[in-house]
Structures are given as C-alpha cells and as structure tokens.
Structure 1
Amino acid sequence: MQSHAPFPFKFELFGQHYHYHYLFETLAFIVGIRVYYYLKKGIVDPISDENRLWILLGAMLGALIGSRVVAVLETPEVVHHLTFAVLYQSKTIIGGLLVGLFGVELVKKMIGVTIASGDIYVIPILVALFIGRIGCFSMGIDEPTYGIPTSSFLGMDLGDGLMRHPIMLYEMVFLIALFLLFRALKNKNLINGDRFKLFMLLYFLFRFLIEFLKPYQSLFLNLSSIHWSAIFIFIYYYKFIIRIFKRVFT
C-alpha cells in the first residue's frame, strides 16, 4: 500500500542516508549520564564513587547482553540461524533493564555492597528512555516497535500506508506520567530501593500490556519474550508487590 507519510526520518551525510535514531540513541546516553551526575550532587550517597563505577559497569555489561538476547528471542526462528550481525543489531530496553539488574546485583555481591543502589537511576533512565523513544518513533516501520493496524482515531501511517497504533507515542506519554509521579515522590519517606522497584514494576507492566498492540511472535504459551521478561520481574519483586498491596488496602 502506498504511503505518503514522512517516515522514516533520515539525514544525509557524505552521500549516505542515516536514521536519526542513531543520533537520539547517543543523545539519550549522554543526557542520561549528565542527569545522573546532576542529581548525585544533591545527595549524600552512602555508596562510594568507586563502587558506583563498578555498579554502573555491571549494569552496562548486563544491559549489553540482555538487550540482545531478549531482542533475538522476540523472533524465535532467528535463533536457528543466528549471526553476529543479527545479534549486534537486535536490542530492546526490556532486556537491558532485566539483565542489567542482575549485572548490578552480581557486582554488588562481589564488592560487598549490601544496600539498595537503584533509586538514583530512576529519573536518568526515564529521561534517556524518552529521548531514545523519539528516535524509535522517527523510524516508523523501520524499527520493530510499531503497532498493529487500528481503526482508532489514534492510528497513524508509519510508512506502509496502514493506520497503526503509534506505540512509541503511547510510551512517551507513559514516560512523562512516570516522570511526574517520581517527581511527586521526591520528598516522600520511602524505603531505600522502593523507587527503583516501583519504576521497574510500572514500566514492565506497561510493556507487558502494550505488547498486545504489537505484531509480536510467540516464544511460549502465546507470549513473547517481552511478556516473559515482565512476568519474571513481577515474580522477582513479589515481596515488594505484597508489601505495597498490604499498605494500600489495610
């Protein structure tokens, strides 16, 4: 079907055309790091700068591995003829957050850090995610984050002539809502680590639900690797979920 949509957005450099997505990915990383250091100036961090660097290293290595593995599992048939190029090009933030979490926990055990370390990363992650999603949206159907066709007024032509759910716009609105929520919680007396746990649960819940609006492939029991990643997080944080429910309903 012919499309008159401007997607994907590209720029020309030395005669070659490139997606703006690559620029936004780089910008997301740079701005996220700067926001982290800005917020860190205003607190007394019980974790030393050296240990923070080790924790960040664990997070980045875990994210590097997890983002690729979970992304590859989004298309299970690729596993049988996997190449380095496919592995390198495949990535999803869900896998990055999931395995990055365990990378952090592993490093903390190795260096002897026993206190929660994630709260300070929530706002930088939200900012970086938002910037990165602008890049994803600019790619239209060239990025496998588009939605299924819809007759809803929210539908957009993302480059193939079909009116689809603009999943990235939905997520950007959700990220703004999360940002406002955590800004409102800034001065609340919460247990150390609860902000990060709440972020993980809310973001993974959103991704679990929004996945049904995407043309996903089943990994197991008609659920994708994104679904199963979210379920794993729900199980991992089950004590926190029970505690929150008891606090709300008692």
Structure 2
Amino acid sequence: MSGAFLHTLFDIAAWLAAAVALYWLSRQGLRFPAQSFERSYLAALVFGAGLGAYLFGSANLWLSGQSGIARSVEGALVGGIAAIELYKRSAGITVRTGARFALPLALGIAIGRLGCYFAGLDDFTYGTPTAWPWGHDFGDGIPRHPVQLYESAAMGAFALLYVVAVLNRSAFVITNGFYLVLVYYGAQRFLWEFLKPYGTLLGPFTLFHLLSLSILLYAVVMLARAPKARPMHERAVA
C-alpha cells in the first residue's frame, strides 16, 4: 500500500474523528455560540484555512530549496484564524467562537500526523538524522526523528486531557479550550521544528518556528483578555 494512499486514508480518518468529536461535545450538554456553525462563518474558515495551508506549505518548501506545491496543517491553522478574525470584525461578532473546535482540532492533528508518518520521504515532514534508538528509516537508509509521531502523541495527550476536563465540567478549560489548544500546539510544534530539515528564515528559525510563535502569542493574548469563567450551568461557552 503506497504512502500517498495511506496519507489520504488518515486524512479522511482525521476529518471523521473531528466530526465525531463535535458530535460528542454536542451530547455533553454544552452550549456553544451558534455563529460558529453559520454558513458564512464556515465558508470564511474553509477559505482561510485552504489558502494558508497551500501558501505557507509551499513557501516552506521553496525556502528549503525544493520545488513544487505543498500543504501545511500549521499554515491552515494560521490562515483559518486570520480569516475568522477578519470575518468576525466585518460581521460585528464580538463573542468568542472557537471553543467548540478545541477537541476536533487536537484529535484531527493527532490522527492526521500518522498519515504524514506513513507517507515517508515524499511528504517532507520527516525529521533530521538521529542516532537515537527509535530513529526511523523512511526509505533512504538514514535513521531520522519520527517527528510526526512526536506531534501525534503530543496532540493525542491534549485531546485526552481535554475530554477529562469536559467530563469534570471544568469551566475554564471548556470556555478557553481553543486558546489552550493553540498554546499547546504552538509550543510543541516550535520544539519539533528544531528536528526538521527545513530551510531557515530568521537566524536559526524556520518559517514554521515563526508561525508557531505567532499562534502561541495570539493564544496567550486571548487568554489574558478572557472573561472569568463561570460554572457551565450559568453561561454558554464563548
């Protein structure tokens, strides 16, 4: 079975898992802002995420001395956030609309990264050479960091902790879940970038280092400005 086919299978599995996560959250008695399921909102999200995925994915490829077109989940995240913030500003939406996407995002990335791992060298998401015992040969005879598995495990751990928080009705985690997953994602992704063979953009930092820091900074600012979370029976999740 080819790496490209496996990658596609895991991409589909990631989307299905995200959909299941959304359904599960809807069964937990939580109320999320209705704006995040409006057609215009979703259209802005899909457009921004798609544009960001190809723009930043391809830019990183070129900065690394390779030709072609590529996609990036981090680029999709940055593009989606930017598009939604612009959409909310133009539509006069002041409530926070990302809370329902925390678990789908974490779970989707955790599963999707497995597809990157099985895609091998063609996916250009592998790590740098390593002598560590779990180094993986992606087909060129060189043991490399399986950074896709590092990220998959990290995001899977967040998803598990988030589920526990929902079951325990943690108002802070549920209300601010989207920004918490962004802080977590940005921090772990920043670390893994040091183990990837990408071309640098600023000093020792790659394009994805800078995107990770941007995501992290955005989320920290939003958390700092967040209203105090009250018990879930008193308010809707914003």
TM-score bracket for this pair, using the shorter chain length: 0.7 to 0.9
The one-letter code sitting in structure 1 at the alignment partner of 2:26 is K
- In the TM superposition, 1:55-70 aligns within 5 A as 55-70=41-56
> Which residue in the other structure is 1:10 paired with?
2
Q: CA deviation at 1:193?
A: 4.6
> Which residue in the other structure is 2:234 paired with?
none
The one-letter code sitting in structure 1 at the alignment partner of 2:131 is S
> Which residue in the other structure is 1:117 paired with?
97
Q: CA deviation at 1:76?
A: 3.7
The answer on whether the counterparts of 2:64 and 2:199 sit within 8 Å (CA) in structure 1 is no
> Which residue in the other structure is 1:28 paired with?
14
The one-letter code sitting in structure 2 at the alignment partner of 1:206 is Q
Change in 2 beyond 3 A, CA 1:193/1:106: farther
Count of aligned residue pairs for this structure pair: 224
Change in 2 beyond 3 A, CA 1:207/1:19: same
Change in 2 beyond 3 A, CA 1:146/1:134: same
Alignment deviations for residues 159-187 of structure 1 (CA, whole Å, 9 cap, x no partner): 11111111111112112211122123221
In structure 2, distance between residues paired with 1:123 and 1:227 = 23
Residue 177, structure 1, aligned to residue 157, structure 2: yes
Change in 2 beyond 3 A, CA 1:51/1:19: closer
In structure 2, distance between residues paired with 1:49 and 1:238 = 23
**Residue from 214, 218, 222 that aligns with 2:196:** 214
**Residue from 73, 84, 88 that aligns with 2:59:** 73
**Residue from 187, 191, 213 that aligns with 1:205:** 187
The answer on whether the counterparts of 2:180 and 2:219 sit within 8 Å (CA) in structure 1 is no
The gaps in structure 1 that reach 5 residues or longer are: 1-8, 12-17, 245-250
> Which residue in the other structure is 2:176 paired with?
194
> Which residue in the other structure is 2:112 paired with?
132
In structure 2, distance between residues paired with 1:191 and 1:137 = 30
Alignment deviations for residues 48-84 of structure 1 (CA, whole Å, 9 cap, x no partner): 36853332222211110111111122134589x98xx
In structure 1, distance between residues paired with 2:223 and 2:35 = 31
> For 1:98, what is the secondary structure of its paired residue?
helix
The answer on whether the counterparts of 1:167 and 1:210 sit within 8 Å (CA) in structure 2 is yes
The one-letter code sitting in structure 2 at the alignment partner of 1:213 is L
The gaps in structure 2 that reach 5 residues or longer are: 227-238
- Percent identity between matched residues is 28
In structure 2, distance between residues paired with 1:204 and 1:120 = 19
Aligned CA RMSD, in angstroms, stands at 2.7
In structure 2, distance between residues paired with 1:61 and 1:226 = 20
User: TM-score w.r.t. structure 2 length?
Assistant: 0.83
In structure 2, distance between residues paired with 1:92 and 1:130 = 14
> Which residue in the other structure is 2:233 paired with?
none
Residue 223, structure 1, aligned to residue 197, structure 2: no
Q: CA deviation at 1:41?
A: 4.1
Change in 2 beyond 3 A, CA 1:51/1:26: closer
Residue 54, structure 1, aligned to residue 34, structure 2: no
The one-letter code sitting in structure 1 at the alignment partner of 2:135 is G
User: TM-score w.r.t. structure 1 length?
Assistant: 0.79
The answer on whether the counterparts of 2:176 and 2:223 sit within 8 Å (CA) in structure 1 is no
> Which residue in the other structure is 1:19 paired with?
5
Change in 2 beyond 3 A, CA 1:119/1:241: closer
In structure 2, distance between residues paired with 1:95 and 1:239 = 20
> For 1:125, what is the secondary structure of its paired residue?
helix
The answer on whether the counterparts of 1:73 and 1:219 sit within 8 Å (CA) in structure 2 is no
> Which residue in the other structure is 1:234 paired with?
216
Q: CA deviation at 1:34?
A: 3.5
